[in-house]
Structure 1
Amino acid sequence: MARPEMLKLPEVLTEIKMSRAAFYRMRARGQAPRIRKLPNGELRVSRADLDAWWELCEEHAA
């Protein structure tokens, strides 16, 4: 079974065209995609979680 694609936070921020500060404000409100913290402290977002979050954003915009 293939491992899911995990994106670094800067990659996510570039894709969603958002600043780190704005992303963390959304995260504090529970409106950001799920983040996983690695043992070394780095943050990752799975491609599946990001895609699901985009879908949810599109549903709320409609």
Structure 2
Amino acid sequence: MARESRTKPAELLTVPQVLHELGGISRRTFYRWRELRIAPACIRLPNGELRVRRDVLDDWLEERAEGAAS
């Protein structure tokens, strides 16, 4: 049902785009966060590449904002 209400498909970011958005963190740091299950949720494509939905990354960042209401 949520899909029907969307007007356009979610933007999918590549790992390098996510690293850039996060201020240039290293690929190693990102994959370490994935191992620790603290990275934003990823989508694994059939070719094995990872993508992160823009809205998921934005929500993940918002949850980590200092001073955010709990």
Q: Bin the TM-score by the shorter chain.
A: 0.7 to 0.9
Pairing 1:25–2:7 present: no
Residue 8 of structure 1: which of 9, 14, 22 is its match? 14
CA radius of gyration, larger in: 2
Using the size of structure 2 for normalisation, the TM-score is 0.79
Structure with greater contact order relative to length (CA < 8 Å, sep ≥ 6): 1
Q: CA-atom RMSD, angstroms?
A: 1.0
- Per-residue deviation, residues 4-56 of structure 1 (Å, max 9, x unmatched): 00001100001102101011111111111001010111110000100011011
1:40 aligns to what SS in structure 2?
A: coil
1:34-53 map, 5 Å: 34-53=41-60
Fraction of identical pairs, as percent: 45
> How many residues get paired?
60
Using the size of structure 1 for normalisation, the TM-score is 0.88
Unaligned runs of 5+ in 2: 1-6
Q: Whose helix proportion is higher, 1 or 2?
A: 1
